[in-house]
Amino acid sequence: MNGRWRHALAALLVGLGLASAAAAQGTPAPHWPPEDTLAQRVLACTTCHGKEGQATNFGYFPRIAGKPAGYLHHQLLAFRDGRRHYPLMSALVETLSDDYLREMAEYFAALDLPYPPPQTRDAPAALLERGRVLVREGDAARQLPACTQCHGEAMLGVQPAIPGLLGLPRDYLNSQLGQWRSGQRHALAPDCMADIARQLAPEDIAALSAWLSSQPVPAGGKPAAALPAKLPRPCSGVSP
């Protein structure tokens, strides 16, 4: 008996077993097969990203609930097409079409869920101040724009394709900025984040991740509808 038939037989036996148990207890048999909804199809995502993509602010996995749909779609395409590298993510999306990935992105983008309290609580004041300056003011001497110029004044992202950076785990922020800096993560040209990250020293990345992960996300906070000014440099997938 090949693997396909073994799996089919196992599923049948499980279904029969559940039905028999329900009948013995005088309760209705469970519905089989389960209702086919997008929420059920994306349950695999919630194993890592948390219930409904809400995640937590600890560990490595980022929140995806409420992120701009364009951004989520671009990242799913990047995992599928090899511009981002994480074996589990790549395996999950490698056979999925552009349209299906867009449906997934729109599903998670539409979720409106509260954020957890800030993760970082004990970082040195000097480190936090360095991070604040980079986020709010940038560094003109190195031609580094402020993070707010692209990610929005509230740092909650901008529709349709710029992500928010608040509420993300400190380890995740460190790893992603490090991957941009080393070239392990990249986007289609013009790759503005790669250009910016290559100008960051390790101490800058530590300061940015400490400050960002120490900031509360206001209740009801959502991505901005638009940026108030032109982007400081061209970015792929984002209108300047």
Which residue has tokens 């997008």?
38
Residue 15 lies in a domain: no
Categorize the per-residue pLDDT at 30 as very low, low, confident or very high, splitting at 50, 70 and 90.
low
Is the pLDDT at 22 greater than 70? The verdict is no
**CATH code of the domain covering residue 160:** 1.10.760.10
- CA 76, CA 79: separation in Å to the nearest integer? 5
Give the pLDDT of residue 48: 93
| pLDDT digit string, tens, across residues 117-158 | 999 999 999 999 999 999 999 999 999 999 999 999 999 999
Residue 227 lies in a domain: no
Window from 31-35, 76-80, 179-183, 199-203 with minimum mean pLDDT: 31-35
Categorize the per-residue pLDDT at 31 as very low, low, confident or very high, splitting at 50, 70 and 90.
low
| pLDDT digit string, tens, across residues 73-119 | 999 999 999 999 999 999 999 999 999 999 999 999 999 999 989 99
85 annotated ligand binder: no
> Vertex 131, ends 127 and 136: CA angle to 5°?
150
45 annotated ligand binder: yes
193 annotated ligand binder: yes
49 annotated ligand binder: yes
The DSSP call for residue 34 is P
151 annotated ligand binder: yes
Residue 5 lies in a domain: no
Residue 24 lies in a domain: no
Residue 233 lies in a domain: no
Is the pLDDT at 27 greater than 90? The verdict is no
Across the range 11-35, mean pLDDT stands at 50
| pLDDT digit string, tens, across residues 198-221 | 999 999 999 999 999 999 999 889
The structural domain count of the chain equals 1
The DSSP call for residue 82 is T
Name the average pLDDT for the chain: 87
Residue 235 backbone phi and psi in degrees, to 5: -135, 140
Residue 10 lies in a domain: no
Share of the chain above pLDDT 70, in %: 85
Residue 92 lies in a domain: yes
- CA 185, CA 224: separation in Å to the nearest integer? 25
Give the pLDDT of residue 155: 97
**235 neighbors 197 (Cβ within 8 angstroms):** no
Q: What is this structure's pTM?
A: 0.82
Alpha helices, DSSP H, located in 36-94: 38-41, 43-49, 69-81, 87-93
Categorize the per-residue pLDDT at 14 as very low, low, confident or very high, splitting at 50, 70 and 90.
very low
Residue 234 lies in a domain: no
Beta bridge partners of 158: 162, 224
The DSSP call for residue 233 is S
What residue numbers bound the domain in which 180 lies? 38-212
